[in-house]
């Protein structure tokens, strides 16, 4: 009889251990489930915030594009008295369109894109400086060339009158 009780006690002891292990596993799984649910809520909140931010960026982009389209329309339809100014605007518009086309061909995640933007900015700056220096040189040289022309005409006239 004792051995029968011992066998039953061992069975009860083993069943208790299995139940304890099962309870520990269940508690561990419940903690994991709570953590996953909490993480899911955080990620959902973050995704909603990012979606709202993206929508705001889209609205801003549409607004900026509309402002540029309006500005472009105003510039294109503005009366221009200076034909050189009109030619400059047309050339500037063509160059800007070509640069925008070339930039659109570069993928947004490309490491080349920042270098392209820097190169365009450098070219614009160099062009502005060349224009500024060219204009300054023209303003400096114009009176000197006129004086040189007057002197040359008078010198030619003087030498012609001697003969």
Beta strands in 55-138 (DSSP E): none
Chain segment 68-110, per-residue pLDDT in tens: 888 888 777 777 677 777 788 888 888 988 999 999 898 988 9
Closest CA to 102 of 115, 83, 84: 115
Q: Which residues contact 93 (CB under 8 A, 6 or more apart)?
A: 72, 76
Q: Quick one: which of 62, 99, 94 has its CA closest to 76?
A: 94
- 1 pLDDT above the threshold of 70: no
CA 95 to CA 102: how far, in whole Å?
11
* Residue 163 DSSP class: -
């Amino acid at each position: 009889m004792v051995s029968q009780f011992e066998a039953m006690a061992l069975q009860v002891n083993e069943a208790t251990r299995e139940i304890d292990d099962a309870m520990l596993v269940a508690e561990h799984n419940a903690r994991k489930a709570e953590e996953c649910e909490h993480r899911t809520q955080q990620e959902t909140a973050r995704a909603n915030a990012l979606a709202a931010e993206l929508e705001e960026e889209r609205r801003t982009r549409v607004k900026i594009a509309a402002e540029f389209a309006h500005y472009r329309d105003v510039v294109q339809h503005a009366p221009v008295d200076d034909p050189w100014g009109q030619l400059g605007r047309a050339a500037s518009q063509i160059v800007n369109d070509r640069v925008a086309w070339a930039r659109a061909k570069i993928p947004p995640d490309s490491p080349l894109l920042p270098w392209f933007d820097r190169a365009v900015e450098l070219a614009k700056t160099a062009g502005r400086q060349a224009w500024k220096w060219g204009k300054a040189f023209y303003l400096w040289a114009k009176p000197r060339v006129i004086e040189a022309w007057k002197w040359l005409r008078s010198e030619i006239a003087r030498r012609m009158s001697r003969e």
